[in-house]
Structure 1
Amino acid sequence: MPRARDIVTFVDDAPPAGSSPWVVEPVAAPIAVDEYDPAWPAHYEALATRIAGVLGARVLALQHVGSTSVPGLAAKPVIDMDLIVADPAAEDAWLPGLEAAGFILTVREPWWYEHRCLRFEPGAAESCASEPGGSDAKAIRANLHVFGPDSPEPWRHRIFRDHLRREPADRDLYATAKRAAARTSNAAGEVVMEYNARKQAVLREIYARAFAAAGL
């Protein structure tokens, strides 16, 4: 488990010289912030079942995080998940199974908690149609974030999620910031990382209150 001071400390360092986090470069696309969809938790469960089926005991923890995990919160229609494995750097132990299940490695950041991110797109694997939700499961899009047991980032994600579930004022504040960031980013033809940067100030403001409420 990470130390409390690591959980509340954000690391915003740039990649080392000559390094890029991108395995698959992002492309500019319209950013949609939709009203909350009560089907999102079921989409998460379908993906969680898929992940457990290919990784088994290698899944040390798996959680639904991000805006789609907060009832009532507007969000991009992309399920965010945090997967904890013993060693993210040992990709041979977990990556082939996820790739076979339709996930695509898009980000590799050894310098930032050994983070990896994989994308799941509609139709990424033919067996989607047999999962909960039937053929509608093909509409699932997801980002799967892979971390090790000592990473503070998944702790931050859960604290933030649970705070927004309890605090409607901060949930509404965050939704307003997300919609404003999406409008500006779409007008400028930006990628999602630039959208994230535009809402970061409000995000960090809410995080501060979430950490304080958690006693950190």
Structure 2
Amino acid sequence: MTNSGGRRRPDVTTVEIIGGPEALEVGLSGYDARWAEDYKRHRRRILDALAAQDVEVDVDVDVEHIGSTSVPGLAAKPIVDIVVAVADITAEEDYLDALLAAGYELRVREPGHRLVRTPARDVHVHVYERGDAAVHEYLLFRDHLRTHADDRALYESVKRALFDQRWDDMNDYADAKTDVIRAIKSRAEAADR
């Protein structure tokens, strides 16, 4: 269990992608209300796993549905993204063991972030430390897309255009969306002030 004196150890300093690059093999699907149900089921699974490990889950961030599948009306890859905040990202024994025991597999270990996913690769769980700016950005972006149809349509059109290309690495597809995401985040931040 994480002590109140701060981190137990330094975080990792490199990016480790377990299994190496993977081609983007799924296409865009029209919004599916079942994604919200999948999220709820996995939220319960994550909370149960962390509770069994006696992990403090951030009460403000809790476990949240993020990404395109969390935005009604938005086409998305049929992969449910979830974000979880933990007290100490470096104390993997406090959360990672529990998530692995719950059936998730480690995919990414990088500074400030861990990613586990289902063996079917249809759910990605992003783990960050409580207070990490990335969590706020995910939620701000999601909430903005939920309430701004023009930016939701823009984002979908960019994704559709990118899906016309071949992607040998799913991360390259994600990187290709960076400019439009940055622009939408900028508008979301301005609206949030």
- After superposition, where does 1:57-206 map in structure 2 within 5 Å? 58=55, 59-60=57-58, 61-110=62-111, 114-122=112-120, 141-184=122-165, 186=166, 189-206=167-184
Assess if the C-alpha contact under 8 Å between 1:88 and 1:146 holds in 2: yes
Assess if the C-alpha contact under 8 Å between 1:24 and 1:107 holds in 2: no
Aligned residues: 176
Q: Which runs of 5+ in 1 are unaligned?
A: 1-14, 123-139
- After superposition, where does 1:13-28 map in structure 2 within 5 Å? 19-28=14-23
Structure 2 counterpart of 1:145, one-letter code: H
Structure-1-length-normalised TM-score: 0.77
4+ aligned runs moved over 6 Å, structure 1: none
Structure 2 counterpart of 1:76, one-letter code: K
RMSD: 1.6
Assess if the C-alpha contact under 8 Å between 1:36 and 1:68 holds in 2: yes
1:213 pairs with 2:173: no
Distance 2:175 2:24 in 1: 16
Deviations 1:115-168 (A, max 9, x none): 11111133xxxxxxxxxxxxxxxxx81110001112100100000000001100
Residue 128 of structure 1 aligns with which residue? none
Structure 1 counterpart of 2:75, one-letter code: A
Q: Identify, as 1 or 2, the structure richer in helix.
A: 1
Deviations 1:23-47 (A, max 9, x none): 3313214241111001110000000
Among the aligned pairs, what percent are the same residue?
Answer: 38
Distance 2:78 2:49 in 1: 24
Structure-2-length-normalised TM-score: 0.86
Residue 47 of structure 1 aligns with which residue? 42
| Helix, strand or coil at the partner of 2:164 | helix
Structure 2 counterpart of 1:168, one-letter code: A
| Helix, strand or coil at the partner of 1:150 | coil
